């Protein structure tokens, strides 16, 4: 079959750092082509070259589309040919309607005036095409992330998309929303629309891709045809990281001590809907040197529980007691929680965990300014030494600690967040989705850091939507549903089936429909 797209010998560098090296990449019409690799492998850079974000002249090589070489000056040039990119950070305006977002850049008009009837009618057609039943007048802020992804796809369809590029489209979605999105890609394939899927979720990639291309260190290192070859995750992983991961999860010496944090009768109400109890009389214990996982469906209250503990960062009308090292503490503010020995790594590192426009140095020391200041003034030399020490200790890949944090890969950004909280020397770390949106190699490094923290006598709490992750790294798993703990399993008793059985039993007791339960054993 003749390729719709050919990228020939593409190379791209930034300030002497080679991001792409002689990359060749092809996509056929109506094909789902997955592009995988570690963070920093060059996937997003390659797609920015293709979409005109990096214009012709800023890279070496050629782009051939529909048999003609193209030199895109900007993203408008690529969109004119039907090449549409949807970035991981969605480009929607929350306080505008779905219709306004879809046609913001190209509204239908009559005699120079926007034709609102046409906008509404075409939006309704596009929403039906992507499987959304919302009204075109619905504000984007009222939609969940999964539905916002579908709005982005509807927006692409409005521009007569022929090649759709999706960068980590399911990173923030639950299982049901992820499956709905992948089903859309299958439907587009039948319509002749090609897709490039960038994803770290190898099970999803293997499920929908026609071909898989692996990038490593800016080079094409492997290509698999899923239509004629048996796809093995181990082969993909070996190509990505250039080593065997015989054990996905590192071993550690478990030495669990006395309780370091005890939570008693903890209750929390919703900060906006103040009559709604979100956390319901929870008792919870973490011991020194222990890694405790919290599993549950989406909306079970896991994040709300962690944030309410961390200085009432999300809460209203909290009651209950918290003891650290046997002493009752009052966690009425974030500074109070930090001083008491708690640290919380948020699930949303870009919005809540980092200042992306600041350098690595400032982000690492942000929660520990008193340690790098004298008489209220930051000592630049002390700050530089502290940040450099954590850069080396955490193996953060950056040019130096003055590099802007937003320029780092997702895995290295996560290491910066961890460094920030480790510098506070906490007794207990609350890790909320610590490996979301990072590749298998970087995940392994994060698991090693978690092990090191446990071996140093810290108490570690891991909230994760990936069941294999919880089973692989935790000494004990607590199951949460509807704001309460409904099950607890020691490592030797924790299985996917037992955990899902505990969730199912309590979902049904609460009267939820069976369809609400996630498939394939994944929990949220």
397-429 per-position pLDDT tens digit: 898 999 999 988 888 899 999 999 999 999 999
168-190 per-position pLDDT tens digit: 887 766 677 778 888 888 988 98
pLDDT value, residue 15: 66
For tokens 């045809």, the residue is 225
What is the rounded average pLDDT of the residues 207-212? 92
Phi, psi of 454 (to 5 degrees): -65, -40
Q: Are 435 and 418 in contact (CB under 8 A)?
A: no
263-290 per-position pLDDT tens digit: 999 999 988 888 889 999 999 999 999 9
Structure tokens, 44: 């997003």
Nearest to 270 by CA among 262, 279, 261: 279
Distance CA 279, CA 266 (A): 7
Domain borders along the chain are 3-241, 247-341+426-524, 357-424
Share of the chain residues as helix, strand and coil, in percent rounded to the nearest 5: 35, 25, 35
- In the chain the first and final C-alpha atoms are separated, in Å, by 41
- Compute how many other C-beta atoms are within 10 angstroms of the C-beta atom of residue 82: 18
pLDDT at residue 520 tops 50: no
Lowest mean pLDDT among 210-214, 242-246, 291-295: 242-246
Distance CA 456, CA 468 (A): 24
CB-based burial of residue 448 (10 Å sphere; 0-12 exposed, 13-18 middle, 19+ buried)?
A: middle
For tokens 């090649």, the residue is 163
392-403 per-position pLDDT tens digit: 999 898 989 999
Protein fold of 3-241 = Rossmann fold (3.40.50)
Distance CA 296, CA 512 (A): 14
State the pLDDT confidence band at 115, using cuts at 50, 70 and 90: confident
**DSSP-based three-state secondary structure for 144:** coil
Strand runs labelled E in 17-79: 17-28, 32-36, 60-65, 68-70
Distance CA 521, CA 503 (A): 11
Structure tokens, 506: 């309590």
Distance CA 4, CA 25 (A): 11
Q: Are 287 and 259 in contact (CB under 8 A)?
A: yes
In DSSP notation, 323-388 reads EETTEEE---SHHHHHHHTEEEE-S-IIIII--TTSBHHHHHHGGGGGGGEETTEE-HHHHHHHHH
Q: Which residue has the higher pLDDT, 283 or 158?
A: 283
Structure tokens, 179: 């499956």
In DSSP notation, 454-516 reads HHTT-EEEEE-S-HHHHHHH-SEEEEEETTEEEEEEETTT--HHHHHHHHHHHHHHTT--GGG
Mean of the per-residue pLDDT values for the chain?
Answer: 87
429-445 per-position pLDDT tens digit: 999 999 887 777 778 88
Domain boundaries 247-341+426-524, corresponding CATH code: 3.40.50.300
Residues of the chain with pLDDT > 70, as a percent, come to 93
pLDDT at residue 343 tops 90: yes
28-59 per-position pLDDT tens digit: 999 999 999 877 788 889 999 999 999 999 99
């Amino acid at each position: 079959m003749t390729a719709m797209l050919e990228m020939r010998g593409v190379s791209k560098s930034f300030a002497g750092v080679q991001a792409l090296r002689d990359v060749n990449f092809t996509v056929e019409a109506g094909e789902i082509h997955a592009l995988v690799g570690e963070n920093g492998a060059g996937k997003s850079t390659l797609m920015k070259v293709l979409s005109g974000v990096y214009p012709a002249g800023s890279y070496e090589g050629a782009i051939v589309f529909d048999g003609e070489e193209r030199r895109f000056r900007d993203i408008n040039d690529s969109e004119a040919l039907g090449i549409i990119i949807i970035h991981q950070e969605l480009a929607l305006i929350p306080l505008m309607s779905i219709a306004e977002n879809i046609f913001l850049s190209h509204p239908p008009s009559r005699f120079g005036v926007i034709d609102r009837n046409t906008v509404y009618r075409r939006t309704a057609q596009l929403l039906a095409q992507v499987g959304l039943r919302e009204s075109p007048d619905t504000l984007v802020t009222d939609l969940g992330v999964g539905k916002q992804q579908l709005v982005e796809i509807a927006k692409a369809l409005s521009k007569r998309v022929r090649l759709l590029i999706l960068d980590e489209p399911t990173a923030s979605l639950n299982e049901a929303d992820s499956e709905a999105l992948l089903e859309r890609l299958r439907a587009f394939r039948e319509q002749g629309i090609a897709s490039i899927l960038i994803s770290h979720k190898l099970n999803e990639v293997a499920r929908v891709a026609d071909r898989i291309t692996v990038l490593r260190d800016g080079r094409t290192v492997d290509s698999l045809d899923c239509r004629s070859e048996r796809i093995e995750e181990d082969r993909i992983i070996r190509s990505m990281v250039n080593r065997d991961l015989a054990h996905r999860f590192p071993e550690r010496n478990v030495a669990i001590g006395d309780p370091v944090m005890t939570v008693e009768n903890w209750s929390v109400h919703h900060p906006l809907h103040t009559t709604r109890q979100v956390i319901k009389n929870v008792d919870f214990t973490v011991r020194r040197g222990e890694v405790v996982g919290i599993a549950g469906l989406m909306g079970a209250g896991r994040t709300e529980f962690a944030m309410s503990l961390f200085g009432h960062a999300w809460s209203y009308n909290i009651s209950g007691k918290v003891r650290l090292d046997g002493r009752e503490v009052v966690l009425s503010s974030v500074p109070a929680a930090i001083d008491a020995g708690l640290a919380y790594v948020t699930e949303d590192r870009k919005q809540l965990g980092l200042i992306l426009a600041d350098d690595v140095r400032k982000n690492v020391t942000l929660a520990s300014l008193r340690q790098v200041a004298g008489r209220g003034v930051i000592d630049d030399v002390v700050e530089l030494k502290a940040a450099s020490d954590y850069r080396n200790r955490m193996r953060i890949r950056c040019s130096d600690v003055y590099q802007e944090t937003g320029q780092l890969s997702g895995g290295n950004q996560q290491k910066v967040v961890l460094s920030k909280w480790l510098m506070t020397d906490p007794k207990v770390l609350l890790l909320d989705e610590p490996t979301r949106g990072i590749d298998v190699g970087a995940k392994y490094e994060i698991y090693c850091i978690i092990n090191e923290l446990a071996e140093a006598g810290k108490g570690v709490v891991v909230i994760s939507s990936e069941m294999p992750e919880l089973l692989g790294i935790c000494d004990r798993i607590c199951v949460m549903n509807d704001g309460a703990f409904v099950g607890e399993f020691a490592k030797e008793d924790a299985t996917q089936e037992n955990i899902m059985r505990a969730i199912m039993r309590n979902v049904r007791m609460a009267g939820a429909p069976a369809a609400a339960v996630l498939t394939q054993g994944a929990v949220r």
